[in-house]
Each structure stands twice: as C-alpha cells, then as structure tokens.
Chain A
Amino acid sequence: MASCPSWAAFNGSCVYGTWQDGEGRFHLGDIRGLTDIPLPGRGHDIAVSPNGDLAVVFARRPGRFLLTFNPATGEHDDPQWCPVDRHLFGHGVFSHDGAVLFVTENDFETGEGRIAVLDPRDRFRRIDDISSHGVGPHDLLGWPNSDLILVANGGIHTHPETGREKLNLSTMESSLVLLDPRDGNSISSAVLPDALQRLSLRHLDISSNGTVVVGGQWEGENGWPTPLVGVWDGSQPLTLVDAFSPANLAMAGYVGSVALNTAGTTIAATSPVSGVITLWDRESLQARGSTFLPDVCGLCADPDGPDFMVSTGLGMVHKLDGQTAHILESRSHTVDQRLWDNHLVGVA
C-alpha cells in the first residue's frame, strides 16, 4: 500500500457497494467513485437483473426501503417503501427471466420466514409470497439456468419490536433450501449436525455449474471452533471446512460475506470480527491463504478476472490475488470517509 498503483484493472469492472460517510449518512456507489447515490438509511445487498440494466439495493434488516438504479449509468429512482407490516431482511434476487424479484422477509406473527415475490415492472408491487421453509431467511440466489431459488435460513427469530435481538438461540435451526417459487415447494434442503445447532447459515454464492458456497456465523459458546464455510451441490449433505484449521480459526466464529471466483475454483470468506479474508480450494476445502484486513467485510469476485474485490469499514477497497489473497491493488477512501458496509456486488 506504500504506493497507490494505477487503477487500470479497476476501470473495466463495475463493482457496487454501500457506505456510511463521516457525517453518518448512507450512500450507494461504485468502488471507482464515479457514482454516489444518497440512501434514506443503511443499505445491505444489491440484486442485479439478468440483463444487467437494472439493480436494486435493499435496506438493511429490519428496513423498509429499496432503491433501483442502472449499474451501467448510475441513474437512479427515488426510494420505494414496502408496507409497514413487512420488513426487508437485506437480500434479494431476480428470477432467471428477470420478470420478478424475490426478497427475504419475515412473518413476525408466526416467526416463519417468507420470500416475497415482487413485480419490477409495476413499482415492485407484491404479487405473492411463499414460505422460505425455515426461520430467519437471509441471503438468497437463483439456481443457474433454472427457475429454482436457493435460500439460507439463518434460523434466528427476530421481531421488529425488539429490532435485531435474537429470540430463539436455544432452538434455532439453520438450513439451506432449494425451492420452486412457482408452487412454493421445497425441492431439497441441507441442515446441520446437532453439534452445530447454533451455526447460522447466512450468506451464499453459487458457481455457474451449481456449486453453492455458504458462510456461517456461530451463535454458540464463545470461542468454540466451528466450521464457518461449506459447499453444497443441491442434493448431498453440506461439506464443511475443518473447524480447527488455522484459517477457519482465524475467522473467530463469524463470516460476513462469501464468494466464488469467476472460474468457480476458489472460495473467499471475510470475517470483519477478526479482520481477515481467507481463501479455500473449492474441491479439497483446504485453505489457500489469508490476509489481515481490519474491518473487512464486502466481497465479490472480480467481474473481469480470476481475483477478488474486498472493501473495509476503514475506507479501503482492495483487489486480492485469487490464489494467494495477496493485495494486488488498493484504493483509499479515507479522505472522504467511506466506511464500506457489509457487501459488494460485481456487475459483469
């Protein structure tokens, strides 16, 4: 970081994230600093339509706004607000054909996780909502070349009256569910062994051939080593990394974001708690490398190459080598104080 290299490699790619500025205001924009869109509250994840001309940023859990923008131009609409009896959980995904948008929500009367189906051509009018087949749905994404969607049920029950307080840790049950949104049926699911009952599966990425990578957060005994990264093929049981491997231990029980590189061969996981990014071989689940990056969280594959893009709450954006996690390029937003938030999204 001694010298700030040229931004050539950043110039082709389009990577978006949200941040908080020095005055506590929230923004959406790209990592090159070309777009800066004010948000009415703290943002979380971003969904991009299949043809790439429409993107939606979601309010952070439990929030109620979403805002649409064109990732190619940075043009944006006014924020829209969901009904007062609903709260967004921060993640969403477009259907394979782009006709509908799925967002994770909560029915806080029953505690059941819901996936709302919204119409992007009609101001995101609610068309339907279906069960997430679990509690506390968080991240979700589309299964490649199909209409199916995959949801990570974090397993943790929250209620708007108590905000983000966790109400059911002793009985929580996290799962991955592959479901058919046309009839709401579960096609298959993956659950955790009893010893990992307090692991909350929260964030997802998927390769073009259908390998799911999941990142978890441990809600059990403080300091107990727990596998935080796993892969799933949609039918067999989850395969998890070695809990006692140094790279897993370094993440201190908490993964904030996961990503596969564009080739689908390497998994990256960030832990803001310990300020570390770890890389894993997708086949062997052996650690490949790790780098200490204070307050790192935002993460996505470099849309233009084999590497990863990461952001930190210290105002840094880095491009990391997809094999070693070494820093290739960095950009500092310390002067204009961009505290980059939990997620980054690449637009190819």
Chain B
Amino acid sequence: MLDRRLLLALMACATALPFRSARALEMANFVAVNQKIAQQHIATRHATFAASCSGLSITLVAFTAGRAELYAARQSFHAAMDAWQAVQHIRFGPSQIDARQFRVQFWPDSRNRIGRQLGEILISEREDLISKPDALAQASIAIQGLPALERLLFEIDIAPGEYAGMLAAAIGDNLLRIAQDLEAEWAPGSAWSQGLYEPGSSSVAYPAPSQASAALLLSLVTQLNVIASAKLREPMGQSAERARPRLSESWRSERSIRNIAINLDALSDLFSGGDGHFANLLIQSGNETLAADLQERLRGCAQIMQGMPASLEVLATDLSLRIPALDVADVIDISRQAVEQQVAPALGLTLGFNSLDGD
C-alpha cells in the first residue's frame, strides 16, 4: 500500500539542509565506522549472496534432474536476485576484479546482446558450457549471470533434461563461484576488508581512513544516481504513453521495483544501519538534523517502494502509482545532492576529486 502521508512528508523536507563544517572528527571516528560497514554491511551481505547462490545452484541442478519444479527454480532465482540487489552498490575492489559485477549481472543490455548470444548457444548447444566447470566463466559475460538465467527461467519454456536446463544449472554454478569469491575477499579479516579500516594496510590504496569513508559514501551517491535515472526515470519515460518498461532492470521476472526497494533498504543500512554508520559520524560532527532528515528520507523511500507493485510495468502506466514513483525519484535525487553537498563537507570528506570531475 502506498503511504501518501509519508511521501508528502519526504517531499516537504526535501530542501537544502544546512550543515556545520566538521567539528573535527578524529581518525578513530572514521576507522570505527569503516570497520562496522566492512564487517556488518559488506561482509554480511556478501555472505548472504553466496548462501542464496548456493541455494540457487542446488535447486537448478535438481530441476535439471527432474527433482524440482520450475516454480522452485524461479523462487531460488528471486532469492539470489534479492541478495544481489542488496550488494549491487558495492562496485569497487573485489566486486570490480575479473569483471565480477558484469558477470553476475550484465545490465543494462540496451542492444540485446544477451538475447542474441543466448539464442546462438541454445541453437548450437555448445557442449563445453555445460560439461566443463570453468567454460562458462571464460565465455561472454552476457550469458554468465542473472539476466541470462532470468531469460531461461521466465521467458523460455525450459524443461528438465534439456540443454537449456543444463545451461541454467551451469549459470547457477558460475554464480555460486563468483559469489563465494566475493564472500571470501570481503570477509572480516580479509585484506580488502581490513584495507578499509586499517590505515596503511597493504592491499587497498586508501592512505587515510577518512578516504575509505569517502569511497563508501561515494557508493551511496552512485547507487542513488543509478536508481533515480537508469532504474526509474528511463523506463518510466516522459509520459505514461511513452513509458518503456522493457528498459527496466528485471521486467521478465516482474521485479524491477522490488529491486529498487531492496537497493534503497541497503543504502539506508549503509547510511544509518547497525549502530549508526554515517548518521553517527554526522551526529559526532554536530549535524544531528542533517543525519535525522537524510535517514528519514532513505528509509521512507525504501518503505514507499516496498509498498508498490513489484513490476515497473504497472507503475509506468497507472497514474495513481506513476506520479508517486516519480516523486520518489525526486526525493532520491535530492538525497543524493544532500550527500554530495552537505554530508560530505560536513564530515570533511572529498568525494572523488578526479572521479566526479574529470576531463
């Protein structure tokens, strides 16, 4: 159910918020927050992704052998996609190595590369992809991950014992390997994890803990931008008549809005979950109002999107949902600007000197 009063409240507080320049935060403040985010947010969520991919892989193998229904395979896909959407905003370090982000989810695919390549493989029935454990990992990124699997499970009428089913199982196995690598490399105590909160640690190039905090805050900014533009405004189109719901992220499995709700919940957790994260830093710097307002907006946006239908197709054309959904996009944009223009300076952080302003 759409909570109109909540949306109105979020719209109302969506103005530029004043901030005080940093009441000098200590290095220890940043170290503490980075450590909690590394261990409680990043590591935990990647462990969940690996566990859900394990479930997916087992279910797909069972489906291929005729021991599980297509419904079960689809449910396990949803569980894996849920877990992926909860870590999608972590785009650096282990998530970037070996094109893992692309291999888990090649999106957007505006030129239908997945469709063409999957079509070719289903016709040629390439044997090595289903028989050699590493073959798929070396194949095109377009056919390795969740979007290719989504087509097999929701678009093509696959059945046990067929090539398409075995390819689905191979994709499940490939996803599990990637997810396990991500889990291991982000695990508490790993070099990447420690690199976020141990100054001068050997593997990650953040010379100061505040810079790792800035990188984490930049993850929030980037994902807010992706949600508002690529995930919401582009498929919603200029008008209900000109909506292009097939640009949305997971239209085949009818869960593009569910993805956004999970993303926003994850960002809300990154900002103020656990025992406070960035909201705590803001409070320590004397910016209680800014912390509370932004926390309310992120939580509120997540809550509103959770109350919406899971598929974007309905939202795009039903004006009673379309307008509030676009209002949420506005609140997301304003929240992103608040992080860039108020939160970062309030904490004394520079968000991407080169990365946000190159030439």
**What is the interface of chain A, defined by CB distance below 8 A to chain B?**
1-2, 20, 44, 60-61, 90, 138, 202, 217, 221-225, 244, 246, 249-250, 254, 256, 272-276, 292-297, 312-316, 318, 327, 332, 334, 339-342
Contacts and interface: CB of A to CB of B under 8 A. Distances in A.
A292 B108 contact: no
B200 A2 contact: yes
A314 B212 CA distance: 10
A272 to B, nearest CB: 4
A20 B359 contact: no
Interface residues of B, number: 35
Given A249-B141, A313-B355, A224 B111 contact: yes
B30 to A, nearest CB: 13
B71 interface: no
Contacts of B92: 274-275, 292, 294
Given A249-B99, A292-B92, A222 B354 contact: no
Contact of B358 (A20, A256, A292, A339): A256
B354 A313 contact: yes
A16 B202 CA distance: 26
A276 B202 contact: no
B140 A2 contact: no
Contacts of A315: 207
A273 B352 CA distance: 8
A294 B205 contact: yes
Contact of A1 (B96, B102, B200): B200
Given A221-B110, A272-B354, A292-B96, A61 B202 contact: no
B96 A256 contact: no
Contacts, number: 110
Interface string B78-105: 0000000000000111001111001000
A-B pairs with lowest CB-CB distance, top 8: A313-B353, A272-B354, A246-B99, A297-B354, A272-B355, A313-B354, A339-B353, A249-B99
A295 B98 CA distance: 19
Interface of B: 91-93, 96-99, 102, 107-108, 110-111, 140-142, 200-202, 204-208, 211, 215, 226, 229-230, 350, 352-355, 358-359
B99 A313 contact: no
Given A222-B230, A314-B205, A327-B205, 13 more contacts: A222-B226, A246-B102, A256-B359, A272-B352, A294-B204, A294-B215, A295-B353, A297-B354, A313-B353, A315-B207, A318-B205, A332-B207, A334-B208
Nearest to A275: B92
A61 to B, nearest CB: 6
B352 A292 contact: no
Contact of A224 (B110, B140, B200, B359): B110
A287 to B, nearest CB: 11
30 contacts: A1-B201, A1-B202, A2-B202, A61-B359, A90-B359, A222-B230, A225-B141, A244-B140, A244-B141, A249-B102, A256-B354, A272-B352, A272-B355, A273-B355, A275-B92, A275-B215, A275-B355, A292-B97, A292-B205, A294-B204, A295-B353, A295-B355, A313-B352, A314-B206, A314-B208, A316-B207, A332-B207, A339-B350, A342-B354, A342-B359
A327 B208 CA distance: 18
Nearest to A44: B359
A341 to B, nearest CB: 7
- Most chain B CB within 10 A, of A44, A314, A339, A342, is at A314
